[in-house]
């Protein structure tokens, strides 16, 4: 009798998941925030107090919007910092001269429309920070295209390195692009700071290397082809990689685990498709930059990729 009881206990199965990992959602989010710290430091170094204000306002507005929305729905506030991360990412893709009230409005829109309206973290279709930026770009186009040079306190309407190349065929020094001494959004100027953060994410295995590799590789390959065909008005592959928000998007937005495919092949396709869209917009579109549009467009294709690209079930046989 005692032997039967022991046997029954051995055969009892617990519910899934059967494999657990120490990496939690909160730890992953904090890891991404830590990885963004070099870009944050670079933005403060180049743009001073205005960068601090934008980052603080976007982060606080995101937190407040999420707390109020969940309180109205009678839901408890989560213990993970996804709202802070969304606000931080939004701030890093905004011009340094953007008024604080509009930055706060973009953060509220990003959290409510880009995230909570779908059901919260894990259910949103699009990257919330990019939804917030798209809203601001459509609502305040002049404010979103007013730039200042690093270490400058005077707001002047000028072109970013991509704008200079796209409309005036003027190339910016690769050294300046690498270190960040160029005009642009807060977090996209210094490629060095972003690469340090991206390397941290890859080393800690917080992101999958396939998405940024396919994304950056596609842009480099196609840019090289167009540059060989017609150097006038087309940057070199290295220029195309360092200019604009490509590095920021490749490591910190295209790799969002919620809005990107879950399969390896799906992530290859995601990066490839986003890279093609970037090159098309940069060369033929009305905007000199296309990173935001490329990631949002591929976010829309993610459910389709997850539906038709499925991993082989362990132990199954091919028909």
Closest among 121, 116, 106, 248 to 187, alpha carbons compared: 248
Q: Which domain holds residue 93?
A: 25-306
Average pLDDT over residues 192-196: 94
In a domain, 12, yes or no: no
**Among 140-144, 219-223, 283-287, the range of highest mean pLDDT:** 219-223
In a domain, 3, yes or no: no
**Which range has the worst mean pLDDT, 2-11, 55-64, 191-200?**
2-11
Tokens linked to 315: 């132990």
pLDDT of residue 183: 79
CATH label of the domain that carries residue 62? 1.10.3430
Task: For residue 319, name the pLDDT band (cuts at 50, 70, 90).
Answer: very low
Average pLDDT over residues 135-153: 83
Average pLDDT over residues 83-93: 95
Do residues 303 and 286 lie in contact, with contact meaning Cβ atoms separated by under 8 Å? no
pLDDT of residue 211: 96
What percent of the chain stands above pLDDT 70?
A: 85
Q: Exposure string (b/e) for 173-196, b if CB count within 10 Å is 16 or more?
A: ebeebbbbbbbbbbbbbbbbbbbe
pLDDT of 70 > 70? The answer is yes
pLDDT of residue 235: 76
Average pLDDT over residues 85-103: 94
In a domain, 57, yes or no: yes
Average pLDDT over residues 125-133: 95
Spatial neighbors of 261 by CB under 8 A, at least 6 apart, are: 267, 269, 270, 302, 305, 306, 309
What percent of the chain stands above pLDDT 90?
A: 56
In a domain, 4, yes or no: no
pLDDT of residue 174: 83
Q: How far apart are CA 83 and CA 85, in angstroms?
A: 5
pLDDT of 270 > 70? The answer is yes
pLDDT of residue 187: 87
pTM, rounded to two decimals: 0.88
In a domain, 317, yes or no: no
Q: How far apart are CA 145 and CA 231, in angstroms?
A: 26
Task: For residue 189, name the pLDDT band (cuts at 50, 70, 90).
Answer: confident
pLDDT of 95 > 50? The answer is yes
Mean predicted lDDT score pLDDT of the chain: 86
pLDDT of residue 120: 86
In a domain, 314, yes or no: no
Average pLDDT over residues 154-165: 65
Domain count, the chain: 1
In a domain, 58, yes or no: yes
Q: Report which of residues 317 and 28 the model is more confident about.
A: 28
In a domain, 207, yes or no: yes
């Amino acid at each position: 009798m005692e032997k039967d009881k022991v046997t029954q206990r051995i055969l009892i199965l617990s519910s899934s998941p059967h494999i657990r990992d120490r990496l939690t959602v909160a730890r992953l989010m904090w890891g991404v925030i830590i990885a963004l710290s070099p870009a944050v430091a670079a933005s403060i170094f180049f743009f001073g107090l205005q960068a601090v204000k934008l980052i603080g306002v976007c982060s606080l507005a995101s937190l407040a919007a999420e707390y109020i929305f969940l309180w109205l729905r009678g839901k408890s506030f989560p213990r993970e910092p996804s709202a802070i991360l969304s606000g931080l990412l939004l701030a890093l893709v905004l011009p340094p001269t953007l008024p604080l009230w509009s930055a706060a409005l973009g953060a509220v829109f990003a959290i409510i429309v880009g995230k909570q309206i779908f059901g919260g973290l894990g259910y949103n279709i699009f990257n919330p920070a990019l939804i917030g930026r798209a809203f601001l770009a459509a609502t305040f186009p002049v404010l979103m295209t007013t730039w200042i040079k690093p270490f400058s306190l005077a707001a002047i309407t000028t072109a970013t390195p991509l704008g200079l190349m796209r409309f005036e065929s003027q190339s910016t020094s690769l050294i300046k692009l690498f270190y960040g001494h160029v005009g642009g959004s807060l977090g996209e100027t210094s490629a060095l700071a972003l690469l340090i953060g991206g390397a941290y994410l890859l080393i800690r295995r917080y992101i999958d290397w396939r998405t940024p590799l396919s994304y950056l590789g596609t842009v480099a390959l196609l840019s090289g082809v167009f540059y060989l065909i017609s150097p006038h008005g087309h940057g070199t592959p290295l220029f195309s990689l360092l200019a604009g928000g490509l590095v920021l998007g490749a490591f910190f937005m295209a790799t969002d685990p919620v809005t990107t495919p879950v399969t390896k092949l799906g992530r290859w396709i995601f990066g490839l498709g986003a890279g093609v869209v970037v090159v098309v917009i940069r060369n033929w579109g009305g905007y000199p930059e296309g990173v935001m549009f490329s990631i949002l467009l591929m976010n829309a294709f993610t459910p389709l990729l997850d539906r038709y690209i499925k991993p082989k079930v362990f132990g199954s046989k091919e028909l």
